[in-house]
Structure 1
C-alpha cells in the first residue's frame, strides 16, 4: 500500500482509487491515495509551470503558486492571520451586546457582553476568506454535506470547505485541491478531541483531502459579562490548549500522513473609554488599560484579534 502511495504515476492512483471505493472506511488506503495524488500533481505542476506563470506571481505579491493541498492550507493560514490582525476594526460582529437599561420602578440593568455562537463565527470567517481570495479560482463553502447518511440530508457537514481546481495537467489525478476548516469555540466540550475524531479521522477522508485547519475561537473571559452555560464550559479550557492540539496534530500527521494544523484566534471586545472628572479645565479622557496578552510566546498558528452586538446568550437547553 505504501509503495503504491509513493509512486508518482497515474496507474498507481487508479489502483488506489479502486481500492478506496471497495474499502471506504480504511484510512490507510485513503491516505495512500491522497499521497499518490499529491505526488503526481506536484510533478505535473512543476512540468506545466510556465515562465508567464512565474512572472505573474513575482509581479503580484498577493498571488500564490498552489501545487498541493498543503500549499492551499498555507495560503489559508496566512489569510486567517491577516483576518485576525484586522478584526479589531469591526470586532462587534462577533459579540452580542446588551446595553444598559433603566426602567421605571425596576432599576437599572447593566450592559452585558457575550460571544456570538459558533455558526456566526464560521459564517464570518467564510465571508472574509471569500472576500480576500476573490478572483483566484478558489471556492469557499459552509456546511457542505460530504458524507450523506440518508436521503433526507443527514450526514457529516464541514464548517468550511475550501477547494480549487488544478490545471489540465493534473485532471487525471482528481484535479482538485481541498482543505477542511473545522471551527470550535473554547466552550465546545469536545474541543480537545474533535481535531482527531472529527477533522482528521472523518472529514479529511470524506472530503478526499489530507489537509485541514482546526480553528479555535477564544473569547476573553474577563470581558464576557453575560452569564450563560457557555462561559462555565469555556473556563474549563486547559491553559495549554494550543500545546496539546499541536502535539496531537503532530502525532496524527506522523501516524496517518495528513497535514492538520491548529490555529488559535483570540477575540477580545473593545474596552470602554472612561472620562475622569477634573477641576476647572478640559476633561482628559482616560483609556482603559490594554488587555494583557496571556500568551506572550504565541505559536505560529496563533493570532490575536479584538472585538462587540445584540442579544444575551440563553441558558443551556435541556432535554424534554
Structure 2
C-alpha cells in the first residue's frame, strides 16, 4: 500500500476520464494502477479496494478495482475433480458449490420447489396468514366474517431458514438467521434476514482466497410486499450495507407476495390493489440487473407467491 499510495492521489478533477496529461505524475500513477489491476490477485484486489475507500469518486480507481475483481474470479475458478464429477453423475441432487453464484443458483432452485409446494403441493399457503373467523362488531354482536392478514417478515424468514436447512441437510452449508452486523457502541446493529455460507474455496495454487472471505457466502433480505421501503431496500440495505460488510458480491432480495384481495383485516396496511407477483418479479429483476451491472455484483430478486388457494366449491 505504501508503494502504491503516493502514485494514487487523485488529480484536481477526480472524475476526469479524458486524455491524460503527459509529463505529470498522473500517467505514471495510472500505469501502476493498470498493472496492479491486470495481476488479478487477492492482494491486488485488496489494495484497489483500500484505494477506492479512500477516493470513492476517482473513476479510474473504481473501474480498475472492478476489472481486478473480474480477473480474480476468472483465475479463482476451480475445475471439478474427477471424484466430484462422478458424485454429480451418480446423484443428480448433488450440487457443486465453488462460489457465491453457485450458492445463489442452489437457493433459487430450492425456492422454486417451495413455490411449487405452495401452489400445487400439500403445503397450504394459509400457514403464512393470520386468520380468525370471529369478530366483535359494534354493540358486542358476534360475526363469522373471516379476518386475514399476513404473518410478519420474521416468521416468514424463520420458515424459509427451516425449509432450506431441511433441504440442505448433510450438505455442509450453514444457514443463519438474524446475523448481526455493523454493531454500534451500545451493542446494537443491523441484522441480515438469512446468511448462507458454504465451505467452498479457490485453488490456492492459482488464486488465494480474498482476505476475510473464507467461505462462499450469499445474503438474503426478505421483504413483505406491504413493506413501506420495498422499492428502496434492495439498494439501501442489501447492496449498500449488507454485501460490503460481509465482503461478498452475492445477494438475493426475496419478496413475499400476499394478494390485496385476500387481505381482510386492518392490523397491517395492505399493498396497492392490482399488484401481481408477475409485475413484482419484472420490476425487481430489472432493479437487480441494474445494480449488478453498475456495482459489479451478483444480485437477484425472487417473488414467493403466498396466495391462499381457494377452497373447492363444495366446501364453501
**Pairing partner for 2:272 from 235, 253, 256:** 235
Q: Which residue of 2 aligns with 1:98?
A: 132
Aligned residues: 269
Three-state SS of the structure 2 residue aligned to 1:92 is helix
**Pairing partner for 1:9 from 41, 47, 63:** 41
Three-state SS of the structure 1 residue aligned to 2:148 is strand
Greater relative contact order (CA < 8 Å, ≥ 6 in sequence):
1
- Classify 1:168/1:128 alpha carbon distance in 2 versus 1 (closer, same or farther; 3 Å): same
Q: Which residue of 2 aligns with 1:139?
A: 174
Contact 1:97–1:111 at 8 Å: present in 2 too? yes
RMSD: 3.1
Three-state SS of the structure 1 residue aligned to 2:76 is helix
Q: How does 1:1-320 map to 2 (within 5 A)?
A: 4=36, 7-16=39-48, 23=54, 28=62, 35=70, 38-42=73-77, 45-46=78-79, 49-88=80-119, 89-90=122-123, 91-100=125-134, 106-150=141-185, 152-167=186-201, 169-170=203-204, 172-173=209-210, 174-231=213-270, 234-235=271-272, 240-274=279-313, 285=314
Counterparts of 1:267 and 1:195, CA distance in 2: 20
Counterparts of 2:192 and 2:304, CA distance in 1: 19
Counterparts of 1:3 and 1:114, CA distance in 2: 58
Q: State which drifts further: 115-124 or 8-17.
A: 8-17
Q: Which has the larger radius of gyration?
A: 2
Q: Deviations over 1:141-175 (max 9, x none)?
A: 1111122222x331221111111122573564333
Q: Which residue of 1 aligns with 2:28?
A: none
Counterparts of 1:258 and 1:38, CA distance in 2: 12
- Where do 5+ consecutive residues of structure 2 fail to align? 1-32
